[in-house]
Structure 1
Amino acid sequence: MAERLSARAVIALVTDDFAPLPAPAAGPHGLGPDGPLGWEGYDDARARAAARTGEEESVVCGRAVIGGTAAVVLAFEFGFLGGSLGERTGDRLEAAYTYAREHRLPVVPLVATGGSRMQEGMRALVQLQRVARQSALTRAAGLPQIAVLRDPTTGGGWATLGAGADVVLALPGAQVGFAGSRVRPPDADPAAYTAQAQVAAGAADALVRPEELRETLARWLSLLTWRSPEPAPPPHALGAGAGLPATGWEAVTRARSPERPRAEAYLDAYFTRRAAISGDRCGGTDPGMLCGFGEHGGRTVAYAAQNGTAIRPAGYRTATRLVRLAGRLGFPVLTLVDTPGAANDAEAERQGAGGAIADLFRAVATARTPVTTLVIGEGGSGGALALAAPGNTWATPDSYFSVIAPELAAAILKRPEHQVRATAGQLRLRPQDLVELGMVRGVVGAAHSG
């Protein structure tokens, strides 16, 4: 279990400066003694919670500076009635989100809550709709939301402030799940309701230790507030001094070489710093698709990079999430193509491969910001093309792009194995062929043409 820090303690842990926002005046809720339900003892429970925590409500909202970037912080106090959301909590959250939009500031929810407050019944539950609307308005305004999941993050707080954020970080050992510990089935596996499980399932991006939280938030806030509308330039080719391939089969063998630089090498060379997102928010992750944001030439560029493996549906969905997030926040996108194709096993079909690829095609085709693509290895059919930018795709000398792998093309055409190499030539898949065909704009870092 993660250490349960108070709201003020976690604020001190992650911020350089913090100024609380004034509490909004109580709305026309008509709260009588013991709240809207007349729940006996509710007023006394609130008074004890206030005396114990020093807070007037379950959330502390304020303007903060984190690593030099201003933001609005929403820190939950679990010691105040389990960090539960009531109407006055909703008042504070709505006012804080409104302030963030008015001042063009990102929002950082530091979540620790058991969910809606029982003592206020449905008046408390509908605060989730209110919070969801504020989050949606902030999203539409192009402002990033970076959530930190503390212990515990359950119920509606997880389903709105946590899972609804653009980037979701979690403290190791934190209890995270829609169902709290007292309402789960008795035979439920407790390991499924942890921060580690949510990261593994693609519902959260990363685990961050408390001592690294300030630095991590500072990096994310800096990257996600550094906008530029200009397209990302394609990276330089790495390890491509041998020039262009003489034959189609040479292009294929060079692209498949284990010595060829992969996506990680290109990302490391291109970005001075970067931060990764992970997961499709639908229950899956794919290490074959690397996504995130990085700094290049003093500005932020989003990236989605295939890592040389067959891409699974979760990988395509994660890339789609990245492209759409970049468009909403105003960042150009760099994509790196390197895959033999989409995963084609039965499990991939059950996970919705066709729909995931189709959605990525749509996301790239309708991207709100410029997309630049570099083919760095294998360009295997539609599974690779889904990540490629129409009209702004480049290639390295040790890459190829083909309608289908030459071995599969020969099999479909019922050709014997010894004709695979000739088939590769007929497919005109070399980088220089792709330029002549108008499929790519150019070959980066080519020593000579041929």
Structure 2
Amino acid sequence: MTERPTARGAVAAVADGFTELPHPGRESAPDGPLGWPGYDAARARAAIRTGEHESVICGTARIGGTEAVVVAFEFDFLGGSLGTRTGDRLEAAYRHARTHRLPVVPLVATGGSRMQEGMLALTQLQRIARESALTREAGLPQVAVVRDPTTGGGWATLGAGADVVLALPGAQVGFAGSRVRPADADPAAYTAEAQVAAGAADALVRPEELRETLGRWLRLLTRPSTAPAPVPHPLGAPHLPATGWDAVLRARSPERPRATAYLDAYFTSRVALGGDRCGGTDPDGMLCGFGEHEGRSVAYAAQTGAATRPAGYRTAARLVRLAGRLGIPVLTLVDTPGAANDAEAERQGVGPAVADLFGAVAAARTPVTTLVVGEGGSGGALALAAPGNTWATPDSYFSVIAPELAAAILKRPPQEVRSTADHLRVRPQDLAELGVIRGVAGAADGRRAAR
């Protein structure tokens, strides 16, 4: 890492017009609540060294045109540690955000709780967690930036507890600080890169790109809308398949447009949400994030044509719930042969992960729009589909099971796979006639089309 910026330097790097909030006036007993010898002197030296009187500064500022409450840690003030007066400042900042309906942006750099205040310092984490939870319930986004270092309770509350976590490359990020880890611990596990790979943080953002990235996130997360996301225009073949097997072959064709093509055509800009917050990511099976479509914010969860891993389902569920809290409509793109069914997927809880996504979509607080753009393989695909608002492209199919597997289960010979596809009625027009989907998007031969 390069030289660590001060708290005010970190704010100036991403925001304009920072106005500090009034500091709550709590008097401190000599050497703090525990009477820790030399504590007052240590605070005085820290104040002289940094020009600050606490380890965090809080205020309002504009980031990319969006007004926000910004809290920034001064690591050179006692290691950016959290004490009772730090808790006072953070609580006041979150309350100001709720009163004025502003998003919260923590710029975190802390070593954890302040030892000189003992358990009173540790309990500040409960205060912070409550303020964060109340802010979440109020429908206000929290976008954290974890700087170097971010460890201990600061990571476990202000950092990992945010809706979106952006991390600076090379930063030390982890619950265990460098002095309390096992001697043989792999230092690479305690980095921003490791947290992104494990799904605990969403993205690595270089310092020179942080202002623009934060501004884009805040702009997208602060535009609620009650109208459903429009159905995307189909990008593949316009004509409906003649037979069920034809539908299957077209959906499985490597030339068929995939999720990235649809997302690029639909959104003028987008940002990615990465990770399930449970230790996993599924970048090859599920793409999640927020984007701008015709001037509106829309959340998206898109399968990529591969079997979806448990982490992919959990990330999609996380996205649907976040969009619901923020009042943002959701677009889902279905395209998978099914949920991953290997032994590792079972060990990672694929069944509960699919169940979690079914529940999130069923209980969605904002409208969900679904377009089946390729394979719709059984429950692993249906979990992402919106009940009552699912559409299909002409080069897609949806089935209770793959025709080959259905034929095997029914003990039919291989030559009957094609007829089995017809019996399953997997074509888009079949699904519309059965009432499984609302219609076929953009069909060129008179079928009901999305408008």
TM-score range for the pair, normalised by the shorter chain length: over 0.9
Q: Which residue of 172, 175, 190 maps to 1:178?
A: 175
The within-5 A match list for 1:398-417 is 398-417=395-414
Tell me what 1:14 maps to.
Answer: 14
Query: Structure 2: how far apart are the matches of 1:120 and 1:4?
Result: 26
* Residues 14-42 of structure 1, C-alpha deviations (whole Å, 9 max, x = no match): 00221111111117xxx321001111110
> Are 1:366 and 2:363 matched, yes or no?
yes
Query: Structure 1: how far apart are the matches of 2:259 and 2:191?
Result: 31
For structure 1, the 5+ residue unaligned runs are none
> Are 1:99 and 2:96 matched, yes or no?
yes
Q: Give 1:5 deviation, angstroms.
A: 1.2
> Are 1:236 and 2:236 matched, yes or no?
no
Tell me what 1:247 maps to.
Answer: 243
Amino acid in structure 2 at the alignment position of 1:177: G
Q: Give 1:297 deviation, angstroms.
A: 1.4
Q: Give 1:256 deviation, angstroms.
A: 0.3
Query: Structure 2: how far apart are the matches of 1:25 and 1:6?
Result: 24
Tell me what 1:422 maps to.
Answer: 419
Amino acid in structure 2 at the alignment position of 1:70: E
SS at match of 1:60: strand
Q: Give 1:157 deviation, angstroms.
A: 0.1
Q: Give 1:445 deviation, angstroms.
A: 1.1
> Do the aligned partners of residues 311 and 2 (structure 1) sit closer, same or farther apart at CA in structure 2, a change above 3 Å counting?
farther
Q: Give 1:416 deviation, angstroms.
A: 1.0
> Are 1:125 and 2:122 matched, yes or no?
yes
Query: Structure 2: how far apart are the matches of 1:234 and 1:368?
Result: 19
Query: Structure 1: how far apart are the matches of 2:389 and 2:228?
Result: 10
> Are 1:188 and 2:185 matched, yes or no?
yes
Amino acid in structure 1 at the alignment position of 2:260: E
Tell me what 2:258 maps to.
Answer: 262
Amino acid in structure 1 at the alignment position of 2:273: I
Tell me what 1:446 maps to.
Answer: 443
Q: Give 1:3 deviation, angstroms.
A: 3.9
Q: Which residue of 271, 279, 283 maps to 1:275?
A: 271
Amino acid in structure 2 at the alignment position of 1:258: P
Tell me what 1:24 maps to.
Answer: 24
Q: Give 1:389 deviation, angstroms.
A: 0.3
Does the aligned pair in 2 maintain the 1:199–1:205 contact within 8 Å?
yes
The within-5 A match list for 1:295-444 is 295-444=292-441
Tell me what 1:82 maps to.
Answer: 79
Q: Which residue of 110, 114, 121 maps to 2:111?
A: 114
Q: Which residue of 152, 156, 169 maps to 1:155?
A: 152
Does the aligned pair in 2 maintain the 1:2–1:172 contact within 8 Å?
no
Query: Structure 1: how far apart are the matches of 2:442 and 2:163?
Result: 36
Q: Give 1:449 deviation, angstroms.
A: 4.9
Q: Give 1:4 deviation, angstroms.
A: 1.4
> Are 1:285 and 2:281 matched, yes or no?
yes
Return structure 1 stretches of 4+ with deviation > 2 angstroms. none
Query: Structure 2: how far apart are the matches of 1:2 and 1:430?
Result: 57
Query: Structure 2: how far apart are the matches of 1:434 and 1:334?
Result: 20
Query: Structure 2: how far apart are the matches of 1:3 and 1:399?
Result: 53
RMSD, aligned CA: 0.8
Query: Structure 2: how far apart are the matches of 1:2 and 1:403?
Result: 55
